[in-house]
């Protein structure tokens, strides 16, 4: 059992201890589940009434060398700069996505995060093993944290941070204001990489427009592409898609796909608050097929969102055992945090083994209400951040009431 797996298991042995943290002037509240002084992550973080900043994928500076320790410190230093730009604190970080070149790099990252985190304020974290945008990099991260500065936005606000790059059109951090949030499942189109990228972006825009939104509402994009060495092709198409507007934060994961589509893209968008009797509404698109295990787009109403750490099986096992272990843990976390399986909004499934991938497809109908499945993406990757595991699941949910 490696360090990351031990940390998640420790959270459950603690009985999902809860810590509560108030924001500045009680403008927001965070409730952390499974946080502890010997743990670098929380099992889940519930954030209430906060404007949330989404960062771009942060990679090591060019001049830091090739040691894992130096690269992790470089990325965390950049994250500190982004946090400082919004007068926020490390304790305001809600979620971290950690991308590592090899699974064992995750142990080094977890150790350094345990020193970087403020005690009792550990974020939810997901680890995935993938090729990275820079071939020499061992680690990259993106983050979600609560905004504390007084510049409260009423629409998504993109911010370029000069310390993190020269391209003034590139947003390093975008504010998701208070209001609703829309999660759009990964979409993919056929063609070579530039053609498929642009067609996929156009398809996502069609989805937004169907829901009375526009590209101006986009907060962040995540691209699952192959091969990573052609990332510049994808970025050029994204830049062209946004024209003269600022480009929102983008993260990249290399997926291993035998399909004809070389890229899949999912997005997060802000939406004006709409009164709803339910905390999550589910949207299918008339021009795309309907599935009982994932929704084309989901909308969390209001400002209460639950970010869950990437879940892997508590112990090694076959594909069915791994998937059932994950859903057992998920059910426990949701129950403790005031949610349930009928209020999942977003799922990202990272799989590195065909058997748990197939079992996920087989077993999801047992767990999901076919009228209320989460928006989802599934990517075959090189590893899921845990030794002897073939799947990890990254979730966002809303309160059941």
Per-residue pLDDT tens digits for 122-158: 999 999 999 999 999 999 999 999 998 767 778 999 9
Q: Are strands 139-146 and 297-300 parallel, antiparallel or unpaired?
A: unpaired
Classify the phi-psi angles of 86: left when phi > 0, otherwise alpha if psi is within -120 to 50, otherwise beta: alpha
Average pLDDT in the chain: 91
Quote the pLDDT of residue 39: 60
pLDDT surpasses 90 at 83: yes
Does position 116 have pLDDT exceeding 90, yes or no? Answer: yes
4 vs 380, more confident: 380
Percent of the chain with pLDDT over 90: 83
How far, in Å, CA of 229 to CA of 224, rounded? 13
Instruction: Specify the pLDDT at position 259.
Output: 75
The domain segmentation of the chain, as residue ranges, is 180-272
Q: What is the structure's pLDDT at 55?
A: 98
105 closest CA partner among 310, 386, 396: 386
Query: Is the pLDDT assigned to residue 263 strictly greater than 50?
Result: yes
pLDDT of 80 strictly over 60: yes
Would you tell me how many other CB atoms lie within 10 Å of the CB of residue 162?
10
Rounded to whole angstroms, how far apart are CA atoms 28 and 24? 7
Give, in order, the Cα–Cα distances in Å from 326 to each of 261, 320, 393: 28, 10, 8
CA distance linking residue 293 with residue 360, whole number of Å: 10
Q: Is the pLDDT of residue 219 over 60?
A: yes
Average of pLDDT values for 111-130?
A: 93
Whether the pLDDT of residue 367 is over 50: the answer is yes
How confident is the model at residue 247, as a pLDDT? 96
The 10s digit of each residue's pLDDT in 33-61 is 986 544 689 999 999 999 999 999 999 99
Contact 187, 224 (CB under 8 A): no
- The 10s digit of each residue's pLDDT in 191-209 is 999 999 999 999 999 999 9
The answer, yes or no, to whether residue 1 has pLDDT greater than 70, is: no
245 contact partners, CB below 8 Å, separation of at least 6: 215, 216
Rounded CA-CA distance 313/365 in Å is 19
Question: Which pLDDT does position 17 carry in this prediction?
Answer: 53
pLDDT at 11: 46
Positive or negative torsion for Cα 178, 184, 185, 188: negative
Question: 180-272 adopts what CATH topology?
Answer: 60s Ribosomal Protein L30; Chain: A; (3.30.1330)
| Residues sharing a CB contact under 8 Å with residue 77, sequence separation 6 or more, in sequence order | none
153 vs 1, which has greater pLDDT? 153
Strand-by-strand arrangement of the 180-188 sheet: 250-254, 218-225, 263-271, 180-188, 297-300, 280-283
Chain centroid offset of residue 358 CA: 23
Helix (H, G, I), strand (E, B) or coil at 355: helix
What pLDDT band is residue 15 in, cutting at 50, 70 and 90?
very low
Is the per-residue pLDDT at 227 higher than 90?
yes
Per-residue pLDDT reduced to its tens digit, 159-174: 998 777 778 899 999 9
What is the reported pTM? 0.94
**Would the pLDDT of 21 be above 80?**
no
The per-residue pLDDT for 239 is: 97
Could you tell me which of 224, 240, 235, 241 has the C-alpha nearest to residue 188? 224
Q: Which two three-digit tokens encode residue 73?
A: 């410190």
The rounded Cα 106 to chain-centroid distance in angstroms is 17
Give the β-pairing of 173-176 and 52-55: antiparallel
Query: With 60 as the cut, is the pLDDT of residue 278 above it?
Result: yes
* Residues β-bridged to residue 93: 145
CA separation (Å) from 144 to 17, 61, 64? 22, 21, 25
Name the token pair of 88. 């926020």
Residue 300 pLDDT: 98
pLDDT bin (cut points 50, 70, 90) of residue 98 is very high
Using 50, 70 and 90 to split pLDDT, how confident is the model at 6?
A: very low
Q: What is the pLDDT of residue 14?
A: 40
pLDDT reading at 181 higher than 80: yes
| Section 346-356 average pLDDT | 97
């Amino acid at each position: 059992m490696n360090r990351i797996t031990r940390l998640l298991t420790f959270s459950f042995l603690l009985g999902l201890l809860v810590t509560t943290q108030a924001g500045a002037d009680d403008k927001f509240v965070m409730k952390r589940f499974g946080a502890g002084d010997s743990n670098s992550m929380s099992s889940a973080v519930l954030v209430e009434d906060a404007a949330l900043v989404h960062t771009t994928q942060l990679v090591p500076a060019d001049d830091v060398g090739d040691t894992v320790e130096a690269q992790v410190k470089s990325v965390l230093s950049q994250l500190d700069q982004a946090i400082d730009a919004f007068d926020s604190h490390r304790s305001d970080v809600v979620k971290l996505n950690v991308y590592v070149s090899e699974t064992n790099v995750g142990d080094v990252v977890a150790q350094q995060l345990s020193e970087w985190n403020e005690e009792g304020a550990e974020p939810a974290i997901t680890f995935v093993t993938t090729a990275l945008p820079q071939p020499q990099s061992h680690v990259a991260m993106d983050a979600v944290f609560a905004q504390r500065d007084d510049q409260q936005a009423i629409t998504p606000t993109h911010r370029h941070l000069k310390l993190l790059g020269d391209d003034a059109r590139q947003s390093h951090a975008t504010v998701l204001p208070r209001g609703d949030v829309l999660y759009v499942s990964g979409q993919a189109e056929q063609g070579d990489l530039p053609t498929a990228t642009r067609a996929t972006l156009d398809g996502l825009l069609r989805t937004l427009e169907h829901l009375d939104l526009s590209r101006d509402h986009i907060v962040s994009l995540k691209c699952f592409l192959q091969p990573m060495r052609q990332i510049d092709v994808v970025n050029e198409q994204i830049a062209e898609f946004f024209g003269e507007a600022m480009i929102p934060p983008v993260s990249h994961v290399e997926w291993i796909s035998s399909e004809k589509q070389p890229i899949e893209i999912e997005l997060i968008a802000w939406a004006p608050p709409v009164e709803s009797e339910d905390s999550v509404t589910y949207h299918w698109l008339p021009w795309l097929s309907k599935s009982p295990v994932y929704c084309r787009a989901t909308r969390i109403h209001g400002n209460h969102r639950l970010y869950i750490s990437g879940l892997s099986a508590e112990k090694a096992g076959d594909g069915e055992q791994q998937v059932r272990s994950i859903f057992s843990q998920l059910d426990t976390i949701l129950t403790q945090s005031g949610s349930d399986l009928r209020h999942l909004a977003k799922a990202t499934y990272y799989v590195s083994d065909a058997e748990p991938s197939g079992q996920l497809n087989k077993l999801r109908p047992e767990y999901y209400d076919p009228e209320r499945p989460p928006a989802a993406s599934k990517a075959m990757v090189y590893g899921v951040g845990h030794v002897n595991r073939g799947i990890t699941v990254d979730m966002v949910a809303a309160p059941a009431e």
